[in-house]
Structure 1
């Protein structure tokens, strides 16, 4: 039993966003947005620095070596080339179908309410047919 507690150590104080106030959720989202912006700025800075530090000849040599690595079976080199050419596959999933979310949620809420009423010893509305 001590092992189970060790696995969850540090997670007891985590509060899901659904249980937080709007202000707390907004503040957390704001912090995440700031970090995302900082990360993008750093990436841009690194890219600009590399362009300044490398001559066009050096960049061509790196590209030639990367191409040779890809030709010799280096998958990571191939992926870098592919992505650099703008051929990276999209990372999105398409879901198709006729699902009415509003009706699904309404039915789930009704089932949950009926289960609560049944647990409390009450008969849900419309449950008496006779």
Structure 2
């Protein structure tokens, strides 16, 4: 935890001190970017490898996928879709984000049912 009494704002530091802090921050930022890039490349490499479990590959093939298309990434997507269709909301959210939609599309039928229920409540109040 920082002690606020020890903090010196950049406006009170010399230009050389501010420049040196900025340089150190830039070096650390570059190292973090390189680390993230190498992790992303490793993940992409692993996901592009074929599925090593023959039973899993056969199961995916029975879902009408060609053996050429079956890799770890496809297996992961199929697993997400299976979980989402079973009702897992987190898996459904991940799929929606993968498709580029931040917010799932609203169910128009549910909206219409809600409006109809509100209208019926209003009618019941008038009839009584």
TM-score per shorter chain, which class?
A: 0.3 to 0.5
The two structures have a TM-score, normalised by structure 1, of: 0.47
More helix by share: 2
Q: Answer 1 or 2: higher relative contact order, Cα 8 Å, separation at least 6.
A: 2
Normalising by the residue count of structure 2, what TM-score does the alignment of the two structures yield?
Answer: 0.48
